[in-house]
Amino acid sequence: MEKFIRHTGVGVPMRHSNVDTDQIIPAVYLKRVSRTGFEDALFAAWRNDESFILNQEPYRSGSVLVAGPDFGTGSSREHAVWALKDYGFKAVLSARFADIFRGNSGKQGLVTGQLAQDDIEQIWKVLENEPGTEVTVDLEQRQVRCADIVAPMEVDEYTRWRLMEGLDDIALTLRHTDDIDDFETSRPSHKPRTLV
Amino acid sequence: MGKTLAEKVWDAHVVRRAEGEPDLLYIDLHLVHEVTSPQAFEGLRLAGRPVRRPDLTLATEDHNTPTLDIDKPIADLTSRTQIETLRRNCAEFGIRLHPLGDVEQGIVHVVGPQLGLTQPGLTVVCGDSHTSTHGAFGALAFGIGTSEVEHVLATQTLPLRPFKTMAINVEGQLRPGTSAKDIILAVIAKIGTGGGQGYVLEYRGEAIRSLSMEARMTICNMSIEAGARAGMIAPDETTFEYIKGRPHAPEGKEWDAALEDWKSLRTDDDAEFDAEVTIDAGALEPFVTWGTNPGQGLPLSAAVPDPDSFADESARAAARRALQYMDLEPGTPLRDIPVDTVFIGSCTNGRIEDLRAAAAVVKGRRKADGVRVLVVPGSHRVREQAEREGLDAIFTEFGAEWRHAGCSMCLGMNPDQLAPGERSASTSNRNFEGRQGKGGRTHLVSPLVAAATGVRGTLSSPADLEPATPTR
Ligand code: SF4
């Protein structure tokens, strides 16, 4: 996984709250079996609408999505994260994220920064008044900067460390195989097994 | 201080705990389906890693599978590819799979409990948010993403931070015409689609204790729609009774040992929850949703709300957008809303008890003209049981279509879909834009309301029906 220290790119103000993963990527795209190439699927239904923000220059080439509260609710599909990443987003900022979505993002190197809703509103204004304004997401400083706004950003400490080191979760866990072996020796024998 | 049920199950599964790191939690049961697994298996293959515990893993085919002509090859090419990929992966990694046409095939959250694999005190995961269903047995069960699926396949563990706990006290007793679905829709309307975020919900109280396992599963199933990671109900005699004798239930001495463990799985009297909510089941009416998230619901006797009546601006905007999508006018009585389709099924309400409840309403009646009624058992076993009880005949005489098991119209991924602009009363769990097919409009309802709606053609409860006239 690539290391993430900080990123600067065009901010996309998305004023919807409660953007569920069915909107981020509709179910029909989940039929694919590959792990890449989901950029066309991102917000597919909304992209049919010409006035949708990602259909407008210069937002089209944005890499920091600034969204309303409760982003990523609904289905656990990780494809939502792949679609955002494949499209070119490096970070999503919101006042509140759905837990599963946030967990999925952390594993894939997509930063989900939690900001106060007031700060989000301020940033929206800048991005709407000055389309193309860049936003800096600074994981090291736990900070988002946009024009003269400096907003504190909340990120899970452990996820932050992993992202900054570029470490993959499975490799980390496999360092503790002995602990897992130990645990298994004391599991009650009445626990079910699928193969007999 | 004592522990809550969720904390007890959590603590019993900690493989490793270290300062500043998430706990490494052992996973007892990993359920797999075709949609969220292909990339996880691909990841294993790329890294040259085996599946650590195929004997704690079970796969079924459900999301993409058709519910008609199941003996023919799947027509949709991408669906077929996904199914074939699952079959190849399960064969390669030694995982038990119940494919389309198998007697144990069905929706993953119906199959686990019915095989007796879902048991109290387990940690259960699946790459599917409605894994919360299994919490009805006092298991800690939650949905995970595809990288976590890969993580569990490779290590049988997950690094996780503890969840907060919330008690949902459901006092009183349900009145006739209301059901578990109305409880959970009312809970979501009360706490909101984000209200459960970061929490495990524990449903408690008199109303919960008197519910069957099927009804408890309906409630836990939709915990995720309140934003919660999981829902749980402490196991009791009803739970033990349900499990006993199922194919994977412990037997003999193992049963006794298991039972002793299971009986300790309740929240201690002196335990504290991080939050607490109380609702009165006795005051509930049949509940339906009017909007495009499961929190936008009201009693059936109410009218479509005026967006301006909401307190904060984001709720007003969400309501306005929802009404536009749903093509509804504020003030329209919910009972006057006509539907094109009634869908009875899904992992929320596709179990035998749900089909019995719906059948009891439609027995001896004919569906309203122009309404399509789809009855889709949650598993092949449910279908067989229903046929033994003659429910299929009741449904077909009513004019409904009796289908094979699968997720069906719960999500727009297989041939069962709403056409653009079509409106449904659906016993499933999500009314998001396009969930049941592009442009489709969904009202979430209980099986009782779905059945009555099929009779009248507009959103209705059984109480709205004229007495049935015997058909022969
Ligand atoms: S029935 Fe619906 S909610 Fe349940 S697993 Fe299938 S698609 Fe998901």
- Return all residues near B56 (Cβ < 8 A) that are at least 6 apart: A193, A194, B27, B28, B29, B30, B156
Per-residue pLDDT, averaged over B271-281, amounts to: 97
Contact between chains at B432 and A78 (C-beta distance less than 8 A): no
Domain ranges across chain A: 6-167
Phi-psi region of B431 (alpha: psi -120 to 50; beta: other; left: phi over 0): alpha
Q: What is the 3-state secondary structure (H, E, C) of chain B?
A: CCCCHHHHHHHCCEEECCCCCCEEEECCEEEECCCCCHHHHHHHHHHCCCCCCHHHEEEECCCCCCCCCCCCCCCCHHHHHHHHHHHHHHHHHCCEEECCCCCCCECHHHHHHHCCCCCCCCEEEECCHHHHHHHHHCCEEEECCHHHHHHHHHHCEEEECCCEEEEEEEECCCCCCCCHHHHHHHHHHHHCCCCCCCEEEEEECHHHHCCCHHHHHHHHHHHHHHCCCEEECCCCHHHHHHHCCCCCCCCHHHHHHHHHHHHCCCCCCCCCCCEEEEEEHHHCCCEEECCCCCCCEEECCCECCCHHHCCCHHHHHHHHHHHHHHCCCCCCEHHHCECCEEEECHHHHCCHHHHHHHHHHHCCCCCCCCCEEEECCCEHHHHHHHHHCCHHHHHHHHCCEECCCCCHHHCCCCCCCCCCCCEEEECCCCCCCCCCCCCCEEEECCHHHHHHHHHHCECCCHHHCCCCCCCC
Chain A residues near residue B21 by CB distance under 8 angstroms: 158
Which among A26, A35, A172 has the least Cβ separation from residue B434?
A26
pLDDT at A129: 97
Residue B456 has pLDDT above 80, yes or no: yes
pLDDT at B63: 95
Contact between chains at A169 and B227 (C-beta distance less than 8 A): no
pLDDT at A2: 81
Domains B5-275 and B286-464 share a fold: yes
Contact A34, A88 (CB under 8 A): no
Contact between chains at B193 and A70 (C-beta distance less than 8 A): yes
Contact between chains at A27 and B411 (C-beta distance less than 8 A): yes
Mutate which of A1, A25, A31, A101 to test chain B, going by most B C-beta atoms within 10 A?
A31
Chain B residues near residue A76 by CB distance under 8 angstroms: 36, 127-129, 143-145
**What average pLDDT does the structure give for chain B?**
96
**CATH: 3.40.30.10, 3.20.19.10, 3.40.50.2000, 3.40.640.10. Which one for A6-167?**
3.20.19.10
Mutate which of A36, A155, A191 to test chain B, going by most B C-beta atoms within 10 A?
A191
- Predicted model pTM: 0.88
Query: pLDDT band at residue B242, thresholds of 50, 70 and 90?
Result: very high
Query: pLDDT band at residue B472, thresholds of 50, 70 and 90?
Result: very low
Q: Does residue A47 belong to the interface with chain B, where contact is any CB pair within 8 Å?
A: no
Which among B21, B94, B413 has the least Cβ separation from residue A28?
B413
pLDDT in tens, A119-152: 999 999 999 999 999 999 999 999 999 999 999 9
Q: What is the ipTM of this complex?
A: 0.93
| Residue in A with minimal Cα distance to B84 | A33
Domain ranges across chain B: 5-275, 286-464
pLDDT at B470: 60
Residue A1 has pLDDT above 80, yes or no: no
The domain B5-275 having CATH identifier 3.90.1150.10: the answer here is no
Per-residue pLDDT, averaged over B208-218, amounts to: 98
The domain B286-464: what is its CATH number? 3.30.499.10
